[in-house]
A and B are shown apart, each in its own frame.
Chain A
Amino acid sequence: MLTIATYGSAVPLITVGPGANQIGGLSGAWANAFAADYGLQVKLLQTTFSSSLLAVQQGKADIGAPVYYNPNRAKSYYYTYPVDIESLVVFTNKSFSYSGPSSLTGHKVATVTGYVWTPYFQKFFGSSLQLYSSATDAATALKNGQAEAYLDADINYFNAPLSLSPDIALHPVSANDFGIPGGIIANESYWIVSCSEKELANEMNAERDRLEANGKWQTFLGQTGAPAGTPIKSPPLQSPAEFC
Chain B
Amino acid sequence: MLNDLGSWTAILLGGLVVTIQLAAISLVLSVLLSATIAIMSISPWRLLRIFAGLYVDIFRSIPILALAISAYFGLGSTLARLGITSFGTAVGVLTLIEGAYLAELYRGSLESIRTPQWDAGASLGLSWTSTLRHVILPQALPPAIPITLNMTIAIIKDSSLVSLIAVNEITNVANQLIAVTFQPVEIYALVALLYLALILPLSQASRVIEGYVARRLGIGPRTERERALRQLTSASELKVG
Chains A and B in contact, CB within 8 Å: yes
Q: Which residues of A contact B (CB under 8 A)?
A: 49-50, 53-54, 57, 76, 110, 113-114, 118-119, 122, 127, 130-133, 137, 140-141, 143-146
| Residue of chain B at shortest CB distance from A115 | B179
| Contact across chains for B76 and A145 when beta carbons are under 8 A apart | yes
B184 on the A face (CB < 8 A): yes
B81 proximity list for chain A (CB < 8 A): 145
Expressed in whole angstroms, the minimum distance between the Cβ of A9 and any Cβ of chain B is 16
Q: How many A-B residue pairs have CB under 8 A?
A: 61
B238 on the A face (CB < 8 A): no
B86 on the A face (CB < 8 A): yes
Q: How distant is the Cα of A63 from the Cα of B164 in the complex, in angstroms?
A: 25
B175 on the A face (CB < 8 A): yes
| Contact across chains for A140 and B73 when beta carbons are under 8 A apart | yes
**Assuming A130-B86, A137-B166, A146-B85, is B73 touching A50 (CB within 8 A)?**
no
Given A113-B176, A131-B166, 4 other A-B contacts at CB below 8 A? A49-B179, A54-B182, A113-B172, A137-B165
Q: By CB atoms of chain B within 10 A, which of A119, A122, A137, A146 has the most?
A: A146
| Contact across chains for A133 and B164 when beta carbons are under 8 A apart | yes
Which of B77, B85, B182, B184 is A76 in contact with, Cβ under 8 Å? B182
5 contacts between A and B (CB under 8 A): A113-B176, A113-B179, A118-B176, A141-B76, A144-B76
B113 on the A face (CB < 8 A): no
B152 on the A face (CB < 8 A): no
Q: By CB atoms of chain A within 10 A, which of B76, B79, B165 has the most?
A: B76
Could you tell me the dominant secondary structure of chain A's interface residues? helix
| Residue of chain A at shortest CB distance from B163 | A133
| Contact across chains for B182 and A146 when beta carbons are under 8 A apart | no
| Contact across chains for B76 and A146 when beta carbons are under 8 A apart | yes
- Total interface residues in chain B, CB < 8 Å: 22
| Contact across chains for B178 and A132 when beta carbons are under 8 A apart | no
A133 proximity list for chain B (CB < 8 A): 164, 166, 175
| Contact across chains for A144 and B79 when beta carbons are under 8 A apart | yes
Q: Mark B79-92, 1 if CB is under 8 A from A, else 0.
A: 11100011000000
Q: Mark B132-174, 1 if CB is under 8 A from A, else 0.
A: 0000000000000000000000000000000011101000100
| Contact across chains for B179 and A114 when beta carbons are under 8 A apart | yes
Q: Mark B176-202, 1 if CB is under 8 A from A, else 0.
A: 101110101000000000000000000
| Contact across chains for B166 and A141 when beta carbons are under 8 A apart | yes
B178 proximity list for chain A (CB < 8 A): 50, 54
Expressed in whole angstroms, the minimum distance between the Cβ of B151 and any Cβ of chain A is 28
A-B interface, 9 closest residue pairs, ranked by CB to CB distance from nearest? A144-B76, A145-B80, A114-B179, A50-B179, A144-B77, A146-B80, A132-B166, A140-B73, A113-B176
Expressed in whole angstroms, the minimum distance between the Cβ of A60 and any Cβ of chain B is 12
Expressed in whole angstroms, the minimum distance between the Cβ of A28 and any Cβ of chain B is 24
Expressed in whole angstroms, the minimum distance between the Cβ of A150 and any Cβ of chain B is 12
Q: How distant is the Cα of A149 from the Cα of B176 in the complex, in angstroms?
A: 20
Q: By CB atoms of chain A within 10 A, which of B86, B172, B179 has the most?
A: B179
A122 proximity list for chain B (CB < 8 A): 176
Q: How distant is the Cα of A194 from the Cα of B225 in the complex, in angstroms?
A: 57
Expressed in whole angstroms, the minimum distance between the Cβ of B145 and any Cβ of chain A is 35
Q: By CB atoms of chain B within 10 A, which of A57, A122, A140, A144 has the most?
A: A144
| Residue of chain A at shortest CB distance from B76 | A144
A50 proximity list for chain B (CB < 8 A): 175-176, 178-179
| Residue of chain A at shortest CB distance from B73 | A140
Q: By CB atoms of chain A within 10 A, which of B86, B166, B176, B178 has the most?
A: B166
A130 proximity list for chain B (CB < 8 A): 86, 166
Q: How distant is the Cα of A122 from the Cα of B180 in the complex, in angstroms?
A: 12
Which of B76, B180, B182 is A143 in contact with, Cβ under 8 Å? B76
| Contact across chains for B166 and A54 when beta carbons are under 8 A apart | no
B164 proximity list for chain A (CB < 8 A): 133
B184 proximity list for chain A (CB < 8 A): 54
